[in-house]
Amino acid sequence: MMFYIPWEAGWDSPALPTTSGYTEFQAPSLRRLEKPWGRIHREGVTRRELCRLLPALCLWGARDLFAASGSGAGKVFPTGPERIELGSWASARSMRLNWQRSAERFEVLGQGTRGNFSGEIDSRKITIRGVVCYLSYPIALMDERLWIATGDLAKVMMPLLFPAGRGARGPGSSLATVCVDPGHGGKDPGNRHFGLLEKELTLKLALTLKPLLEKSRFRVVLTRKSDRYLEPEIRPVLARKAGADILVSLHFNAVPRIGAEVRGVETYALTPAGHPSTNERVASTRTGYSGNRHDAANVRLAFELQRGLVRTLGAEDRGVKRQRFAVLREAPVPAVLVEGGFLSDYRESRLISQPAYLLRMAEAIRDGLLAFVG
């Protein structure tokens, strides 16, 4: 059984002296809670040991509350990640939370537009500086206040609102080495709709993107230059051998049902360790990968590419998302996977088939990379 209980930072959390939150712990069965009391009576405990026993003692006192209400009413709530009160967090950073308790939507305003973001209660979807992004956990309403998961603050909000340093090498003879990975190839055609093959379109896009990046002083390597099959796991290995600073994997999307009218662009970064991916309610694994060393840079790279694509193409913004794709898991450098549109949508597939549209898409990716390296 898992619970999280309210806490006020400051007593044992010097890094967050002005914030509140919810901390998570593994609770024993309520029927076993007599053991801590018995030990205190028989042996006595040190102050440190008493602190460790406090969660169990709190649950003992809350047992009647659970029996009476049948839910996590009062001070004990259902399972969830550690959270911090959003208004306090915003105030500590000279930002302002705008939210009326009768409204489902909220917004946080910073100085200028850099710190602005908005969203809805009980939703993982937020908009940061005009770009849709997905949190790992929904914004929660508890005790008439809004709460955000500390993991989302660390892995999404802080890297995007308060980025630290450059994404890659600074200006010089070459901005950075970009490994461009045309998805699929050879025996793996990828998605196939309306006479279009994903493997051919990703290669065309990569070959269009390469000279644009080189003109912008990037060094560019391709994982494939022809219709060649590569295992997804080998692609980050090729990026490492090429001395790449950035890895961008190119793909095109599809849904099984033709005519579903699903369209738009989305950009994926690797899911942080222990977090659920965007299409999951709970994490399918708590495993971390070597690509997680670049979590902050990954989400910044995804954000800049997604912003460039939406602005340049005028496409529907399906957001910055998270997934544990094989090409991202062991990436030695900041890496993203771009889904440039839906081949299963007739109108969007017609656009993607046009060289002029692929050129605009390549320009958008270039602009995003330039913004990332700063």
Spell out the SS3 assignment of 165-223: CCCCCCCCCCCCEEEEEECCECCECCCEECCEEHHHHHHHHHHHHHHHHHHCCCEEEEC
Tens digit of each residue's pLDDT (9 = 90 or more) over 325-370? 999 999 999 999 999 999 999 999 999 999 999 999 999 999 999 9
Q: Please tell me the predicted confidence (pLDDT) of residue 27.
A: 36
Q: Residue 44, class by beta-carbon neighbours within 10 Å (0-12 exposed, 13-18 middle, 19+ buried)?
A: exposed
Q: Which residues neighbour 350 within 8 Å (Cβ) at sequence distance 6 or greater?
A: 194
Tokens, residue 152: 């989302």
- For the chain (374 residues), the mean pLDDT of every run of 10, in chain order, is 34 31 35 35 45 48 34 39 94 92 89 81 96 97 93 96 68 76 98 96 99 98 98 98 98 85 96 94 84 98 99 98 98 99 96 98 99 94
CA angle 115, 295, 316 (to 5 degrees): 60
Q: Please tell me the predicted confidence (pLDDT) of residue 165.
A: 67
SS3 assignment, position 296: helix
pTM for the full predicted model: 0.78
CA distance 332 to 314: 32
Q: Residue 16, class by beta-carbon neighbours within 10 Å (0-12 exposed, 13-18 middle, 19+ buried)?
A: middle
Q: Please tell me the predicted confidence (pLDDT) of residue 317.
A: 98
Tell which residue, 203, 207, 208, has the closest CA to residue 185: 203
Q: Which residues neighbour 220 within 8 Å (Cβ) at sequence distance 6 or greater?
A: 177, 178, 180, 209, 210, 213, 214
Q: Residue 47, class by beta-carbon neighbours within 10 Å (0-12 exposed, 13-18 middle, 19+ buried)?
A: exposed
Q: Which domains does the chain have, with CATH numbers?
A: 2-69 (no CATH), 84-161 (3.30.457.10), 177-373 (3.40.630.40)
Q: Please tell me the predicted confidence (pLDDT) of residue 29.
A: 34
Tokens, residue 116: 């602005």
- Using DSSP bridges, classify how beta strands 177-182 and 246-253 pair: parallel, antiparallel or unpaired: parallel
Length of the chain equals 374
Tokens, residue 126: 């937020």
Q: Which amino acid is at 18?
A: T
Q: Please tell me the predicted confidence (pLDDT) of residue 326.
A: 97
Tokens, residue 103: 């409204």
Q: Please tell me the predicted confidence (pLDDT) of residue 230.
A: 97
Q: Please tell me the predicted confidence (pLDDT) of residue 137.
A: 96
Q: Residue 112, class by beta-carbon neighbours within 10 Å (0-12 exposed, 13-18 middle, 19+ buried)?
A: exposed
Tens digit of each residue's pLDDT (9 = 90 or more) over 140-198? 998 889 999 999 999 999 999 998 865 555 444 467 999 999 999 999 999 999 999 99
- Using DSSP bridges, classify how beta strands 177-182 and 219-222 pair: parallel, antiparallel or unpaired: parallel
